[in-house]
Amino acid sequence: MIVFTDVDGTIYDYSGRLPEGTAYAIKKMRENSHKVFMVTGRSKAENKPELLDIGFDGMIGGNGSYIEVDGKVLMHKTISLEQCRHIVEWCRSRNIEYYEESNNGLFASEGFCESAKDAIRKYMTGKGMPADETEDIDVRAVFHGLVEGERLVRDDLNKVSFLLNSYQDYLDALIEFADMEVGSWGGKGEEALFGELGPKGIDKAKAIEILLDYLCVSREDTIAIGDAKQDIVMLKMCGTGVTFSSGGEEIKKIADYVTDDVDKDGFRKAFEHFGLI
């Protein structure tokens, strides 16, 4: 069986903790000859050593722009230099702070770390984290691999996330960047907190399809697990889709199986249910 797993809110809980049962389940599945791939909006630079130390057969990163199997890069689509310059100029013209996501690092605009505090607090409290635990949040600690003061017009970017001053920023980005994939995250509908821009025609489902063709594996032999709206395409692509009782309402409606909360060992319980561990 091939298992595709989201990272934030799935492997990590909403406070950024790695449940012991989750790490155990991934290791045990691989010991039992199942393959496990992380499928995430993250780029490689965001992966902490504790995450990589669990062991994976590869990853799909940047919401599908990057595919790696057993250390081999199968696909990597990046934003062009011209598209990056357009994003930077547009954000500056609207006083929008942003960070660029690359396998070589996360590159923040000058005011991002200060401006992003409220959005990150809203994201974490919206996922159930007590408000008092977010009061002194350090944005640099939340985004592993984040650096400041680097050049921002680059040709190595998987995608760019930008703070929404209002939902209109997202709606305007849909028109401004018709040559790119435009999405949002951190909430739903007008509650979205960030917009994101990536290469056209890229998403998690398409990347999984490419990977399965490479491995000569059918969709029926796959399980996907995730917690949020962005993971719906992944669950629909795979033979079985799993989410958490703590996950979003939209993904719970389409999932084949709903396991316990992410912070109540739901990941391990799900794969015990399916007999993979």
Q: What is the pLDDT of residues 93-124, one digit of tens each?
A: 999 999 999 999 999 999 999 999 999 888 77
Confidence at residue 142, expressed as pLDDT on a 0 to 100 scale: 86
Whole-prediction pTM: 0.90
Instruction: Give every residue of the chain whose pLDDT is below 70, as ranges.
Output: 127-128, 187-191
**Residues with Cβ within 8 Å of residue 26, at least 6 apart in sequence:** 5, 11, 36, 54, 55, 56
Sign of CA dihedral 146, 36, 246, 20: negative
Confidence at residue 159, expressed as pLDDT on a 0 to 100 scale: 97
Confidence at residue 189, expressed as pLDDT on a 0 to 100 scale: 42
Domains of the chain: 2-76+203-273 (3.40.50.1000), 81-199 (3.30.1240.10)
Confidence at residue 185, expressed as pLDDT on a 0 to 100 scale: 87
For residues 78 and 189, what is the distance between their CA atoms, to the nearest angstrom?
27
3-state secondary structure of 20: helix
Q: What is the pLDDT of residues 194-237, one digit of tens each?
A: 999 999 999 999 999 999 999 999 999 999 999 988 899 999 99
Q: What is the pLDDT of residues 227-244, one digit of tens each?
A: 988 899 999 999 999 999
